[in-house]
Structure 1
Amino acid sequence: MGATALLVSAALAAPAASAAQGGGHLATRRAVEAAVAAGVPGVTATAEDTHGAWSTTAGVGDLRTGRPRSTADRYRIASITKTFVATVLLQLEAEHRISLDDTVERWLPGVVHGNGNDGRRITVRRLLNHTSGIHDYLADADFQRTYFTEAGFLEHRYDTVGARDLVAIAMRHKPDFAPGTSWNYSNTNYVLAGMVIEKVTGRPYAAEIERRIIGRLRLTATSVPGTKVALPWPSSRAYSKFTDPDGPTYDVTTLNPSFASSAGEMISDSADLDRFYSALLGGKLLPPRQLKEMKTTVDTRIAPNVRYGLGLMDTRLTCGVHVWGHTGGIHGSASEAATTQDGRHSVAVNFNGDWSGETAPVLEGEFC
């Protein structure tokens, strides 16, 4: 998936469609429309604050028909899944069923080993804040060819991949660094975190997310699809250009998300994500001690204004405001959700193309 590309003619021909109510979010609306002008097929965003909810869209949800995006669109949230996974593990810690200082080896004996990998030296905390040193299976060259090239994706888009298989890919590589000595974003950490949840509870991580978060908050548009390949309705099509930003546009809406596993397989909509992050930062999902742990951050290599906690990013905007949330990218989908420290002002945005545009200006528009 590339960086920037020319906007395809079908999207250029479609007028921006806005479902915005009221005029207090002008900068956010302009950022959404600018993303479409820069090449994104379509954008949907919802903000919520003490004045209520506000939504806007721009561009198209279907390049073939010109159907506009909807404020109710459900989409693949990718790595935003990580905040849900970390929340469940911190709930389990609050219940004294696990400690953040437990080793991976204690819960998953023999899983992290070989090529210098040692689960005895890696704690649950280091999984959640990406200081484990475990290699990211997504960076494996064979995995890249299989899922992130046109030919590979078209052949393997419906394959089912097990969590242990994903971890085994990472174990073919030496650690990126000794545990606790540096930071590197690794999806393998959260595949392991999902496996730990299952070992502690005796239930799949998806079932725990559904019971502890989705059901509790009544997130009706949020799901953990497992191996289901379709997006629930309502939804837009999702598009990719793979490695050539100047190449053809491919419809990648249907895929088996098991290759993302507990690192990024979930589906949601913008309103549900606002509700989730507002509840989380507002103290409705975790006791104060666990929420403090989640918000204890380390330096990252993402950007100088971003620090990483336990499945939670602390982003300092240009106006000095700090927001808490996560980004997420998967085939045909780029998303970001964030909320203020008290959880009283939130925004979530999704692009249905993965080759152009950035979500950061939407946050700048909403919070600054």
Structure 2
Amino acid sequence: MSTLRTLSALSLSLLLLCAATSGSSAQSAPTVDGLLPLLITRGEVPAAALLFRDGTGSRASTSYARAGTGISRADHFRAGSITKTFIATIVLQLAAEQRLSLSDTVERHLPGLVRGAGNDGRALTLRSLLTHTSGLYDFTAASRGSVPLTPLQAVRLALTHSPAPIGLFSYSNTNYVLLGMVIQQVTGASYATEAERRIIAPLRLTGTSFPGSRTTLPAPHGRAYATDGSDVTDLDPRVAGAAGEVVTTLADLDRFYATLLGGALLPPRRLREMLNTRTAHGSYGMGLFPVKLSCGTTVWGHNGRISGSYVRTAATVDGRRVLTFRVNTTAIADPGLEPALLAAEFCPRTS
């Protein structure tokens, strides 16, 4: 779909959404220039940006749009839980290399760590961590996502709480903090080092990094705002760790998801496992989740929320078409805008 047709369709979808909310009749679609202002007006965010990628390799075309001030295409920003797709990819690569098995217990790699309050690493597999079916409590619910913690501190905080039933889908950042620790145990290197070696450098994701304890963003970058309007641009990424540390750009996220879903980072069997949602009862694969749009099309990707930033990447299952959008605050006030954005990009346009 051309940029103009895509954005026009998106404009129409959002306009119809507005009309349904207000009870007024639909009017003609707004111009492309009016699209993202509509997003930030209805979403009550300071600024927003989108980058579309269509095609593969050097023949891929991209189109960019933004609204609001203080945001640009080249900005570095925090991408929160999109980090989980990177971590899951590394774990699946290690499984393909037979350096671990997804059926391994957590106890095998982190002996004695997951114990207490009804939690038992001997009963949990790496697959249960990847699919959020371990039942482990989400440490960020206790820390409120604002307290920098070491991985060990994060896990110990989670283990002061009783788990949910094993086998049920229950999203928990603790799962991916543990997977980060498993990566280090298996490889002898940090998850950040392995991400650089296995993903960031080979894909030339020059705007992507795992900052550790560095509180500042690389240049260029804009400002980031909490929901109360306070400036939270400087942030200690250890509030999220392996569950949400990554800093990146719009272009890098589009390239990463296009390459991953295109099959260049994982063998076919492991990519199929990543996309298999059976363990999580249709809710989640491994570092990816599906969304079925109003037209019946299913897109794959992840979202990321961290103080001062909300990001969403979605792609066709073959990775040929990818959309990433971001706002420079913690959340979009109107949740109906996200599915409208995705449907406008990925659903066929009707005349």
TM tier, smaller: 0.7 to 0.9
The 1-side partners of 2:270 and 2:101 are apart by: 11
Indicate how the Cα distance of structure 1 residues 31 and 322 shifts in structure 2: closer, same or farther if over 3 A, else same. Answer: farther
Measured against aligned partners, the alpha-carbon deviations of 1:87-125 in whole angstroms (never above 9, x if no partner) come to 000000000000000000000011110011000010000
The aligned runs of 1:235-314 (5 Å cut-off) are 235-241=221-227, 248-298=228-278, 307-314=283-290
Matched-pair contact (CA < 8 Å) for 1:332–1:352: yes
State the match for 1:324 in structure 2.
300
Gaps of 5+ in 2: 11-31
How far did residue 338 of structure 1 move?
1.2
How far did residue 307 of structure 1 move?
2.5
Indicate how the Cα distance of structure 1 residues 83 and 22 shifts in structure 2: closer, same or farther if over 3 A, else same. Answer: closer
How far did residue 45 of structure 1 move?
1.0
State the match for 1:47 in structure 2.
52
The 2-side partners of 1:176 and 1:58 are apart by: 41
State the match for 2:345 in structure 1.
366
Give the SS at the match of 1:196. Answer: helix
Amino acid at match of 1:326: H
State the match for 1:32 in structure 2.
36
How far did residue 31 of structure 1 move?
5.4
Give the SS at the match of 1:278. Answer: helix
Indicate how the Cα distance of structure 1 residues 299 and 289 shifts in structure 2: closer, same or farther if over 3 A, else same. Answer: closer
Q: Output the aligned Cα RMSD.
A: 1.7
How far did residue 299 of structure 1 move?
7.6
Residue 151 of structure 2 is aligned to residue 163 of structure 1: yes
Matched-pair contact (CA < 8 Å) for 1:238–1:353: yes
The 1-side partners of 2:239 and 2:3 are apart by: 41
Indicate how the Cα distance of structure 1 residues 205 and 108 shifts in structure 2: closer, same or farther if over 3 A, else same. Answer: same
The 1-side partners of 2:303 and 2:35 are apart by: 17
The aligned runs of 1:104-123 (5 Å cut-off) are 104-123=106-125
How far did residue 22 of structure 1 move?
4.9
Matched-pair contact (CA < 8 Å) for 1:88–1:212: yes
State the match for 2:196 in structure 1.
210
State the match for 1:56 in structure 2.
65
Give the SS at the match of 1:73. Answer: coil
User: TM-score, normalising length from structure 2?
Assistant: 0.86
Matched-pair contact (CA < 8 Å) for 1:294–1:310: yes
Matched-pair contact (CA < 8 Å) for 1:31–1:361: no
The 1-side partners of 2:160 and 2:38 are apart by: 42
State the match for 1:341 in structure 2.
317
How far did residue 362 of structure 1 move?
2.1
Amino acid at match of 1:265: E
Give the SS at the match of 2:51. Answer: strand
Give the SS at the match of 1:97. Answer: coil
Measured against aligned partners, the alpha-carbon deviations of 1:112-155 in whole angstroms (never above 9, x if no partner) come to 10011000010000000000000111112xx22x82xxxxxxxx
Percent identity among equivalent residues? 47
Give the SS at the match of 2:201. Answer: helix
The 1-side partners of 2:178 and 2:35 are apart by: 36
Amino acid at match of 2:242: S
Matched-pair contact (CA < 8 Å) for 1:339–1:347: yes
The 2-side partners of 1:327 and 1:91 are apart by: 22
The 2-side partners of 1:240 and 1:324 are apart by: 27
The aligned runs of 1:68-83 (5 Å cut-off) are 69-83=71-85
Give the SS at the match of 1:348. Answer: strand
Give the SS at the match of 1:195. Answer: helix
The aligned runs of 1:211-230 (5 Å cut-off) are 211-230=197-216
Give the SS at the match of 1:35. Answer: helix
Gaps of 5+ in 1: 1-20, 62-68, 148-155, 242-247
Give the SS at the match of 1:337. Answer: strand
The 2-side partners of 1:137 and 1:78 are apart by: 15
Matched-pair contact (CA < 8 Å) for 1:239–1:251: yes
Indicate how the Cα distance of structure 1 residues 31 and 125 shifts in structure 2: closer, same or farther if over 3 A, else same. Answer: farther
State the match for 1:6 in structure 2.
none
Give the SS at the match of 1:25. Answer: helix
How far did residue 201 of structure 1 move?
0.1
The 2-side partners of 1:203 and 1:132 are apart by: 25
User: TM-score, normalising length from structure 1?
Assistant: 0.82
Measured against aligned partners, the alpha-carbon deviations of 1:254-307 in whole angstroms (never above 9, x if no partner) come to 010111000001011111111000101100000001001101104869xxxx72
Matched-pair contact (CA < 8 Å) for 2:169–2:283: no
Amino acid at match of 2:63: W
State the match for 1:9 in structure 2.
none
Matched-pair contact (CA < 8 Å) for 1:214–1:222: yes
State the match for 1:85 in structure 2.
87
Measured against aligned partners, the alpha-carbon deviations of 1:199-254 in whole angstroms (never above 9, x if no partner) come to 0000000000010000010001111011010111111111112xxxxxx4100110
The 2-side partners of 1:106 and 1:124 are apart by: 10
The 1-side partners of 2:343 and 2:226 are apart by: 26
The 1-side partners of 2:231 and 2:278 are apart by: 37
How far did residue 360 of structure 1 move?
3.1
Matched-pair contact (CA < 8 Å) for 2:200–2:208: yes
